[in-house]
Amino acid sequence: MSQLSFSDAEGQARRKKTRREIFLEEMDQFLPWEALEKPVRKHYSKSLRGRKPYPLSAMLRIHCMQLFYNLSDPGMEYSLYEVESMRRFSGISIDTIPDETTILNFRHLLEKHNLGEKLFHKINDYLSKKGLSFQEGTIVDASIISAPTSTKNKDGKRDPEMHQTKKGNEWHFGMKVHVGVDEVFGLIHSVSTSIANVHDIVSAKDLLHGKESRVWGDAGYRGIDKRDEHKDRSVTWFIAERPGVRKLLEEGSEDFIFEMTKAQMLAKVEHSFMYIKKMFGYSKRYRGLAKNENRLYLLAGFSNLIKTKKLLLA
């Protein structure tokens, strides 16, 4: 391979940055790395067992990139060899790239100690210190995450921790992710998972932090105020009417405008699902709820950072 000329080198230095480079630079700037490494460090040091370790900072950054781009363990290893901006983000050279087993072991370490949730709260604590946290109102919602339906695997069975449910006229097999977001910025403050056939209203108790005075939800949460677990809550419930009732409302009437206000508020939580499922490609995932929940916590944290990007840059 011939050497680059001075003009080629200068042109390469001045070239336009790719989307990946811009995104990684932003996430490098936004993520509170020191705070994220702290809950992982003691578990990581115990897992090394005398081997020469890869720096924790590098492994944590590689894991984050794996979630950013929805990469498998071998896919992450290959990407580090192929993409210079990914090596730069992780702080490693092409001679020190961890293999897929090392990447897998680090992911399992986070799952084993439920560190996804702790890292999620570290991100939210960071945003709170920036003044990006409000607790007066919570919006609750849930979304179905599909699981592989094939039985062509080692056990010859579908994932026993997943279930099928009917939404509209379609059947879905998988799980649900339930989130609670604040009504001002739409930032996720609570996450829980369940099998797909668990009703949204059942998991709502895990999504309220107890300090809110207002709760917003779609028609699937109607009757939530009558449930025993919420009878002592001092909140105002803003739950959307069912579609059949909304169709009968006169356009421009007070009730019609009120329902439109609810719909605009509920749209904030849909943005979070859009980031998780579309931007980060989280549509079909691992076997077992625990692995998925660990990953969803981190994706929720990343979504919060992206939502507040303009405010953080300011």
Per residue in 51-63, pLDDT tens?
Answer: 567 899 999 999 9
Answer yes or no: do 243 and 299 share one domain. Answer: yes
Taking only the tens place, the pLDDT of each residue in 208-233 is: 998 999 999 999 999 999 999 998 89
pLDDT band of residue 82 (cuts 50, 70, 90) is: very high
Mean pLDDT of the chain: 87
- Which of the 8 DSSP states describes residue 133? -
Residue 312 to residues 29, 130, 307, Cα–Cα distance (Å): 10, 8, 10
Answer yes or no: do 28 and 160 share one domain. Answer: no
Answer yes or no: do 163 and 95 share one domain. Answer: no
Helical residues (DSSP H) of 15-114, grouped into ranges: 19-30, 33-47, 56-68, 73-82, 84-90, 100-112
Answer yes or no: do 104 and 253 share one domain. Answer: no
Q: Is the pLDDT of residue 271 over 60?
A: yes
Q: Is 127 contained in some domain? A: no
pLDDT value of residue 190: 95
Rounded CA separation 55/59 (Å): 7
Answer yes or no: do 250 and 281 share one domain. Answer: yes
Helical residues (DSSP H) of 133-253, grouped into ranges: 200-203, 243-247
Q: Is 254 contained in some domain? A: yes
Rounded CA separation 303/275 (Å): 6
CB of 136 within 8 A of CB of 214?
yes
Taking only the tens place, the pLDDT of each residue in 133-166 is: 888 899 999 998 877 676 656 666 777 767 777 6
Domain of residue 286: give its range.
Answer: 134-313
Q: Is 190 contained in some domain? A: yes
Answer yes or no: do 17 and 101 share one domain. Answer: yes
Nearest to 277 by CA among 179, 183, 210: 179
Tell me what the mean pLDDT of segment 261-267 comes to.
Answer: 93
Helical residues (DSSP H) of 182-286, grouped into ranges: 200-203, 243-247, 254-274
Q: Is 123 contained in some domain? A: no
Answer yes or no: do 27 and 161 share one domain. Answer: no
Q: Is the pLDDT of residue 1 over 50?
A: no
Which are the contacts of 213, defined by CB distance < 8 A and separation ≥ 6? 136, 137, 234, 235, 236
258 burial level (CB within 10 Å; 0-12, 13-18, 19+): middle
pLDDT value of residue 51: 59
Answer yes or no: do 292 and 157 share one domain. Answer: yes
102-132 burial: b if 16+ Cβ within 10 Å, else e: bbbebbebbbebebbbebbebbbebbeeeeb
Q: Is 194 contained in some domain? A: yes
Q: Is 128 contained in some domain? A: no
pLDDT band of residue 195 (cuts 50, 70, 90) is: confident
Residue with tokens 């990343």: 302
Domain boundary among 81, 113, 145: 113
Taking only the tens place, the pLDDT of each residue in 288-306 is: 788 889 999 999 999 999 9
Q: Is 28 contained in some domain? A: yes
Answer yes or no: do 301 and 212 share one domain. Answer: yes
Q: Is 76 contained in some domain? A: yes
Task: Give the CATH number for residue 219.
Answer: 3.30.420
- The letter for the amino acid at 49 is R
Paired tokens of 123 = 């991100």
Answer yes or no: do 161 and 261 share one domain. Answer: yes
> What values do phi and psi take at 4, rounded to 5?
-70, 140
**Which residues does residue 182 pair with via DSSP β-bridges, in sequence order?**
138
Q: Is the pLDDT of residue 192 over 60?
A: yes
Answer yes or no: do 309 and 183 share one domain. Answer: yes
Query: For 43-46, which contacts have Cβ atoms below 8 Å and span 24 or more sequence positions?
Result: 43/109, 43/112, 43/113, 43/115, 44/106, 44/109
Q: How many domains does the chain have?
A: 2
Q: Is the pLDDT of residue 263 over 80?
A: yes
Taking only the tens place, the pLDDT of each residue in 84-104 is: 999 999 999 999 999 999 999
Rounded CA separation 164/195 (Å): 8
Strands 236-239 and 214-217, by their bridges, are parallel
pLDDT band of residue 8 (cuts 50, 70, 90) is: very low
Answer yes or no: do 157 and 281 share one domain. Answer: yes
